Amino acid sequence: PERIALTPPDLAVEVMSPSDKVKDLRLKAQRYLDHGTRLVWLVFPHTQTVEVYDGDADVLTLTPADTLTGGSLLPEFSLPVADLFQNSRS
C-alpha cells in the first residue's frame, strides 16, 4: 500500500523532464512551500539553470556561472551549478 508523508521534506529537488511544463513545476514548488518545505530547487537541464525557492524570499535563478548553496538549511553545502550539467554539454 502507498504511504503518504505526513510532514513535508525540508528540501525538495525537482528536475525537469522532457514531458514537464515549466509552469507546472513552478506551481509544484509553490505547493511545497505552502505545505512547509523550507527550500525548493527546480533544475532545468535544457537551459542549464536552477531556480531556488527559499521561503518568502524572491526566486533566485542560478546559471552555470553561479554556485548553488543550501542556505541556512544546509550551511555546509556548496556546488558550482556548472558541475550539475557537465555531462550534458556538447
- Give residue-wise pLDDT tens across range 45-77: 999 999 999 988 899 999 999 999 999 999 999
Helix (H) / strand (E) element for 82: namely: helix 81-84
pTM: 0.89
Instruction: Encode burial over 49-67: b for 16+ CB neighbours within 10 A, e otherwise.
Output: bbbbbbeeeeeeebebeee
- Bridge-partner residues for 79, per DSSP? 68
- List Cβ neighbours of 64 (8 Å cut-off, separation of 6 or more): 48, 80, 81, 82, 85
